[in-house]
């Protein structure tokens, strides 16, 4: 397969759309969560202002090279995840840089950001970051197991490692979605999804009142702004993978927005309804409930 | 000087001995500098607008006035509507609310937290205690006039002020910021010696570097 240069501006366009969509969607979800608490919550454009303000702060200090690289790694994890996965199925413009083995690459990228963050936060020297990182890595690792199992199960089911082909196999009718052809894998993956969204009950990593916001304790100004950007890209990118693998992909932008929003809402709903897990509780939860489902999904395929 | 802050010899895990001087090695001692504004007036105005609309408060309750900040997060007052949010760490926040009387012991922590915040940063003095000592005016261990120790942008008077007064205060602060008048961080850098002398006058067991980022 030869490389077409036109793909680069197209992918940047995708990135642009996703950033804006992510900023608005996270604010909207924060608003919904506020309404659950009978508040009005932040204005819908608040995320933009916060971002501008953080880029506009005059001073910033550093703790070393890795401190710089942490947010950069994190952002490249999010952007990479987004760019190597086709966001709109069947559209030449928005298939991004996807290729035959992109499924494995996507799995890598999911973990990449977390590791970068770990290195950067460790350099900042704040004990709170260290605690946050320990919790984060153990929880993400535990959540990644069912996710990987589910992904392998799906890959076995469709006998391909290309996300585009997996989406192609799900076209036609709703009943062709992996959700119905391989429900166990989807359930296991959704459980893992909850774990990686940093929302309650799995937000002990951030725990603002206990370990001042965990890994990013020392991050400020532009560093923080970079991480905020990633915080809107990464969840959307992750949900895009889920739509593609399990929910039939999206053939145009409205459907894309709708599906991403609904899947994201799953974690938001669970988030407002359940209190926080401790780390050992959440790991146990993943190993006892999500893992067996993932294994079963592989065995049944 | 506390024992753990004194110069000492430490043995590393690989057996090599080296000297550490905590105040030198663990902190950056460079004094703050005046940070220039953005080159163009328009951009600075734009940034000021963004700063005004996104006030991140350092959640640090010093006196009894702190109890008045909590209702702001509840459905009744809901300060989030106005772009006011609470941040758990000084690094990420840019508004420091000294909520009431400040004992000398807390002043030390308040100074350290203030210095860790990033320029531009704002300080609100809440309650009459921060203005003239309030009902603690003759107490032996609270400070009387906050302005001598940190550059205050705005006072909210009352003992204690209602949450509505706080909301009104935020709106006033926003006006100041938008007008470019809230340059407390630069003031602090300009009159650094004066502030330090004042601080050292009341904090007798000064055991930290003069400036700690
Ligand atoms: S002004 Fe009144 S309410 Fe506020 S800290 Fe002082 S004594 Fe307490």
Cα angle for residues A75, A77, A79 (degrees, 5° grid): 70
Taking the centre of ligand 1 as the mean of its atom positions, its distance from the CA of residue B132, in whole angstroms, is: 11
B134 located within any domain: yes
Instruction: Give, for all 213 residues of chain B, the pLDDT tens digit.
Output: 667 677 777 777 777 777 777 666 666 667 777 777 777 778 888 888 888 888 888 877 787 888 888 888 888 888 888 888 888 888 888 888 888 888 888 888 888 888 888 878 888 888 888 888 888 888 888 888 888 888 888 888 888 888 888 889 888 888 888 888 878 888 888 888 888 888 888 888 877 777 766
Taking the centre of ligand 1 as the mean of its atom positions, its distance from the CA of residue A70, in whole angstroms, is: 43
CB contact under 8 A, A217 and B120: no
Confidence (pLDDT) at A40: 79
Confidence (pLDDT) at A257: 80
Half-sphere exposure of A238 (CA within 13 A, CB side): 28
- Report which ligand 1 atom has the smallest distance to the Cα of B100: 5
Residues of A in contact with B81 (CB under 8 A): 40-43
Q: Contact, B205 vs B108, CB < 8 A?
A: no
- Report which ligand 1 atom has the smallest distance to the Cα of B68: 3
What pLDDT band is residue A177 in, cutting at 50, 70 and 90?
confident
Taking the centre of ligand 1 as the mean of its atom positions, its distance from the CA of residue A184, in whole angstroms, is: 59
Our CA-based measurement puts residue B35 at a distance from the nearest CA of chain A, in whole angstroms, of: 7
Which residue segment(s) compose the domain that B69 sits in? 41-202
B88 located within any domain: yes
Residues of A in contact with B35 (CB under 8 A): 58-59
Confidence (pLDDT) at B29: 67
The Cα–Cα gap between A198 and A75 comes to 16
* B interface with A, Cβ–Cβ below 8 Å: 28, 35-38, 46-47, 50-51, 53-54, 74-75, 78, 80-81, 83, 85, 87-89, 91-92, 94, 118-120, 185, 213
CB contact under 8 A, A53 and B51: yes
A17 Cβ contact list (under 8 Å, min separation 6): A253
The Cα–Cα gap between A285 and B192 comes to 54
Greater confidence, A95 or A233?
A: A233
The Cα–Cα gap between B93 and A48 comes to 17
Helix, strand, or coil here: B20?
Answer: strand
Taking the centre of ligand 1 as the mean of its atom positions, its distance from the CA of residue B17, in whole angstroms, is: 51
State the complex-level ipTM: 0.72
CA nearest to B117 within chain A: A220
CB contact under 8 A, B81 and A40: yes
CB contact under 8 A, A49 and B35: no
Tokens standing for residue A93: 């413009």
Query: Which residues share a beta bridge with B10?
Result: B18
Helix, strand, or coil here: B69?
Answer: coil
Give residue limits of the domains in chain A.
7-300
Greater confidence, A194 or B193?
A: B193
Task: Tell me: pLDDT of A123 over 70.
Answer: no
Confidence (pLDDT) at B81: 82
pLDDT tens-digit series, residues A72-110: 777 777 777 777 777 666 666 666 666 656 777 777 777
- Report which ligand 1 atom has the smallest distance to the Cα of B126: 4
Does an H or E element contain B19, and which? Answer: strand B17-20
Confidence (pLDDT) at A234: 78
Our CA-based measurement puts residue A214 at a distance from the nearest CA of chain B, in whole angstroms, of: 10
B186 located within any domain: yes
- Report which ligand 1 atom has the smallest distance to the Cα of B63: 5
Tell me how far apart the terminal alpha carbons of chain B are, to the nearest angstrom. Answer: 20
CB contact under 8 A, A40 and B38: no
Cis amide linkage into residue B120, ω under 30° from 0:
yes
Query: Residues A239-254: what's their mean pLDDT?
Result: 75
Q: Contact, A63 vs A120, CB < 8 A?
A: no
CA nearest to A46 within chain B: B83
Any chain B CB within 8 A of the CB of A39? yes
The domain that holds B115 is classified in CATH as 3.40.50.12280
Q: Which residue has the least CA distance to atom 8 on ligand 1?
A: B64
The Cα–Cα gap between A202 and A265 comes to 15
B149 located within any domain: yes
Q: Rounded to whole angstroms, what are the CA distances from A258 to A49, A126, A173, A247?
A: 25, 40, 18, 12
Tokens standing for residue A276: 């926080």
pLDDT tens-digit series, residues A136-148: 777 777 777 778 7
pLDDT tens-digit series, residues A10-44: 777 777 877 788 788 878 877 887 777 777 777 77
B92 located within any domain: yes
Confidence (pLDDT) at A262: 82
Query: Residues A267-283: what's their mean pLDDT?
Result: 75
Q: Contact, B99 vs B62, CB < 8 A?
A: yes
The Cα–Cα gap between A230 and A81 comes to 11
Print burial letters for B167-178: b (CB count within 10 Å at least 16), e (below 16).
bebbeebbebbe
CB contact under 8 A, A212 and B88: yes
Instruction: Enumerate residues lining ligand 1, CB below 6 A.
Output: B 63-65, 100-101, 127-129, 134-135, 159-160
Confidence (pLDDT) at A174: 66
The Cα–Cα gap between B37 and B28 comes to 24
- What domain count does chain B have? 1
CB contact under 8 A, B118 and A39: no
- The phi and psi torsions of B56 (rounded to 5 degrees) equal -105, 115
Q: Which residue has the least CA distance to atom 6 on ligand 1?
A: B129
Measured between CB atoms, which of A41, A56, A213 is closest to B89? A213
Task: Tell me: pLDDT of A190 over 60.
Answer: yes
Confidence (pLDDT) at B147: 86
CB contact under 8 A, A57 and B54: no
Does an H or E element contain B99, and which? Answer: strand B95-99
């Amino acid at each position: 397969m030869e490389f077409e240069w036109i793909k680069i501006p197209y992918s940047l366009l995708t990135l642009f759309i996703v950033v804006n969509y992510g900023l608005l969607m996270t604010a909207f979800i924060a608003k919904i969560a506020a309404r659950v608490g009978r508040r009005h919550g932040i204005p819908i454009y608040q995320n933009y202002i916060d971002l501008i303000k953080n880029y506009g702060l005059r001073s910033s200090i550093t703790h070393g090279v890795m401190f710089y690289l942490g947010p950069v790694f994190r952002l490249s994890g999010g952007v990479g995840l987004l760019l190597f996965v086709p966001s709109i199925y069947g559209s030449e413009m928005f298939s991004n840089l996807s290729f035959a083995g992109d499924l494995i690459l996507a799995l890598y990228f999911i973990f990449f950001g977390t590791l970068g963050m770990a290195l950067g936060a460790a350099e900042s020297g704040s004990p709170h970051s260290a605690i946050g990182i320990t919790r984060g890595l153990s929880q993400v690792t535990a959540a990644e197991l069912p996710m990987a199992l589910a992904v392998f199960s799906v890959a076995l089911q469709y006998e391909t490692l290309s996300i585009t082909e997996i989406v192609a196999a799900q076209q036609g009718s709703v009943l062709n979605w992996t959700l119905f052809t391989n429900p166990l894998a989807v359930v296991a993956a959704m459980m893992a999804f909850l774990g990686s969204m940093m929302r309650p009950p799995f937000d002990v990593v951030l725990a603002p009142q206990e370990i001042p916001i965990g890994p990013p304790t020392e991050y400020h100004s532009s560093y923080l702004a970079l991480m905020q950007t990633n915080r809107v890209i990464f969840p959307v990118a992750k949900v895009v993978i889920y739509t593609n693998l399990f929910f039939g992909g999206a053939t145009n932008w409205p459907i894309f927005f709708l599906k991403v929003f609904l899947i994201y809402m799953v974690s938001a709903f669970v988030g407002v309804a359940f209190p926080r897990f401790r780390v050992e509780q959440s790991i146990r939860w993943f190993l006892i409930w999500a893992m067996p489902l993932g294994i079963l999904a592989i065995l049944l395929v | 000087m506390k024992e753990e802050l004194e110069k000492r010899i430490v043995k590393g895990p690989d057996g090599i001995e080296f000297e550490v001087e905590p105040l030198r090695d663990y902190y950056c001692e460079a004094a703050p500098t005046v940070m220039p504004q953005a080159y163009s007036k328009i951009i600075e105005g734009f940034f000021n607008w963004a700063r005004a609309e996104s006030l991140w408060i350092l959640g640090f309750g010093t006196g009894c006035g702190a109890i008045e900040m909590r209702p702001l997060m509840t459905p009744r007052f809901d300060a989030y509507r106005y772009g006011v949010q609470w941040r758990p760490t000084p690094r990420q926040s840019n508004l420091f609310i000294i909520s009431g009387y400040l004992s000398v012991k807390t002043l030390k922590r308040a100074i350290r937290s203030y210095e860790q915040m990033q320029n531009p940063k704002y300080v609100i003095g809440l309650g009459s205690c921060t203005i003239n000592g309030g009902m603690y005016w003759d107490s032996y261990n609270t400070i009387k006039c906050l302005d001598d120790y940190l550059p205050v942008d705005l006072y909210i008077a009352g003992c204690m002020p209602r949450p509505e007064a706080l909301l009104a205060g935020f709106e006033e602060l926003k006006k100041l910021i938008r007008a470019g008048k809230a340059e407390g961080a630069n003031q602090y850098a300009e009159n650094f010696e004066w502030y330090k002398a004042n601080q050292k006058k009341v904090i007798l067991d000064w055991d930290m570097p003069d400036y700690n980022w």
